[in-house]
Amino acid sequence: MDFKPEYIEKLAKIITDNGLTEISLEDGEQAITIRKDLPEVITSMPAVSAAAPVVQSAPVASAEQKDEPAENGKAITSPMVGTFYSAPSPDALPFVEVGTEIAVGDVVCIIEAMKLMNEIKSEQAGKVVKICVKNGDPVEFGQVLMYVE
């Protein structure tokens, strides 16, 4: 998928015509998120213009990711833009904590995107050595959620 200006403009029109606030697409190594530029939304992404939606393409590396040393184990990253939840409900125990042993396929968290709760499963077995985000934090595509070794 090639994110040419004409394609981005069509996506922005879809957002406007359908009353959406955000649209995300992923194709292999590339991803794009377009958000309507709302006054109450604070974002660090560059705007196309003052009245146009905000555009960001992946792979995305946040400041947190750049500071993370590689020796912390294997990273579990967010497959989408959304909100990180460490537990299935506000009164439930977290899926994992630092020190939790996990197996391949274990649910490690939930990412809420567009009112849908998406279970994030581990692709590796091991022990959780670091959790990089807090419950309720917004996350970006490719952002490191936790490390497993």
Domain boundaries, the chain: 5-57, 63-148
For the chain, count helices (H), then strands (E). 2, 11
CATH, range 63-148: 2.40.50.100
Q: What is the percent of the chain where pLDDT is above 70?
A: 72
DSSP state of 91: T
Nearest to 130 by CA among 145, 108, 111: 145
Q: Any idea which of 40-44, 67-71, 134-138, 143-147 has the lowest mean pLDDT?
A: 40-44
Cα separation, 140 vs 83, whole angstroms: 9
**What pTM does this model have?**
0.54
CA 94 to chain centre: 19
Cα separation, 149 vs 147, whole angstroms: 7
Q: Is 19 left (phi over 0), alpha (psi -120 to 50) or beta?
A: left
pLDDT of residue 32: 76
**Band (47; pLDDT cuts 50, 70, 90):** very low
